[in-house]
Structures are given as structure tokens and as C-alpha cells.
Amino acid sequence: MHLKEILSSTPPNLLYHYTTQTGLLGIIKSKEIWATHTQYLNDQRKFRHAISIIEEELSNMRNEPAYYDKQDFLDQMEGG
């Protein structure tokens, strides 16, 4: 799936999240799911891989006529 498809898609009704029972209760009680800092992930390669895919897709979008009027937005996304 490409970034354009992700940004234009509707989130699924069902979301899977691996956690402990305590974590699940916390999610249910707070009605929130928090993302942690990447330094605490068990495999930071997944995050770096996602970043490289996003950078490549942003670069591709710059060259597509449909995004010529959105260059400022693409600049902001790249500057993150």
C-alpha cells in the first residue's frame, strides 16, 4: 500500500493491538491507545523501514501533476 492510499483510506472498524491484560484494561478504561517512542520498540528496523517508504513516496508525489499544487504541504511533511 502506498502513502496516498493510506492517507485517503478509511480506518478499519477493527484494530488489532498486541498487549498484556493490564494493557488492554488500560486501553478500555482510558479509551486511548498511545504510541511509544521508537527507542522502546523491540525492533527499531520496522520504524526505519516505514520512514524510508514514506520518504520515497513523498519524493514520487512531488513529480505527479495531481500534487503540483500541494508542494508546500509535501515540504512540511518532509520537514516533519
> By the 8 A CB rule, do 27 and 17 touch?
yes
Name the E strands within the chain. none
Q: What is the per-residue pLDDT for 1?
A: 58
CB 43 within 8 A of CB 63: no
How large is the average pLDDT for residues 60-79? 85
Kindly report the pTM of this predicted structure.
0.47
Cα angle for residues 44, 77, 27 (degrees, 5° grid)? 55
Looking at residue 78, its pLDDT comes to 78
Predicted confidence (pLDDT) per residue in 37-48, tens digit: 777 667 778 778
